[in-house]
Amino acid sequence: MSLTTTAQPTPRTQPTRTIAFVAYPGLTLLDLVGPLQVFSALQSLRDGFRVVVAGERLRVMGTDTPLDVVPDSTFAYTTDPYAVVVPGGLVSTLSAMADQRLLDGIRRVAANAEVVGSVCTGSLLLGAAGLLDGRRATTHWMFRDLLTAFGATPVAERWVEDGPYLTAAGVSAGIDMALHLVSRLTDEQTAREIQLLIEYDPQPPFGGIDWGTVDIESHAPVAQRFLTEALTGHPDLLALLRG
């Protein structure tokens, strides 16, 4: 049963706005389905919104879990979306920074979008596509400094807005970013209703992350190992990201 079956849609007052999520092989599943669930709830609650998942082709794509995904649209048929959201991942996403067909697809769907968003390392794909030059942005804390290679200014925040760009930090931050965007597109009451419907009320058993005690530098060798594994066949890009 849908989480939103009891909600009553409001009358249509504006043209339908499409929220397009980008899919590609190896993405982190929660990066995609977290904000996708938020906007699917919005589509059920309020008229005037349409959610699609777009990929290069309509095909089964693996994720970083045992669960595969299949996009319901392609870049070619996802024309003029209101908002675009690019999920991230680990080695597959780092490798995708060198995938010109994927980057071309992202540029295509983002070209006329009012909002261009990302979750986690999805912002590195936006950067590789040339979309974050001169912008403030964030990504997963382990790879945040890589944004400078694409002319962006890394910011250690849960989500960052700069003009039409809205980037979220790692994985679960995509849900926060999506609720924030819903409030922008509608109102705070609607965003709060969706938060209630999906029962998004984080209470981690060990408390929140104390960022003041996190030794990010100690994780740098792990990040470099992932980067090297992902871009061994692309030495120029690897050298750029290593600074």
pLDDT tens digits for range 204-220: 999 999 999 999 999 99
Q: How large is the average pLDDT for residues 143-158?
A: 97
120 is catalytic: yes
**Selection from 119, 88, 31, 90 nearest residue 230 by Cα:** 90
Q: How large is the average pLDDT for residues 28-39?
A: 98
H/E element, 94: helix 91-96
Q: pTM value? A: 0.93
Could you tell me the domains of the chain? 17-202+215-242 (3.40.50.880)
pLDDT in tens, 70-127: 999 999 999 999 999 999 999 999 999 999 999 999 999 999 999 999 999 999 999 9
**Which residue out of 86, 120, 132, 230 is catalytically annotated?**
120
Q: Measured between alpha carbons, how far is 147 from 137 in angstroms, rounded to an integer?
A: 8
The answer to which of 4-8, 59-63, 201-205 has the lowest mean pLDDT is 4-8
Number of CB atoms found within 10 A of residue 1's CB: 5
Which residues are CB-neighbours of 210 under 8 A, at least 6 positions away?
Answer: none
What one-character-per-residue DSSP string does 142-189 give? GGGGGGGGGT-EE--SSEEEETTEEEE-STTHHHHHHHHHHHHHS-HH
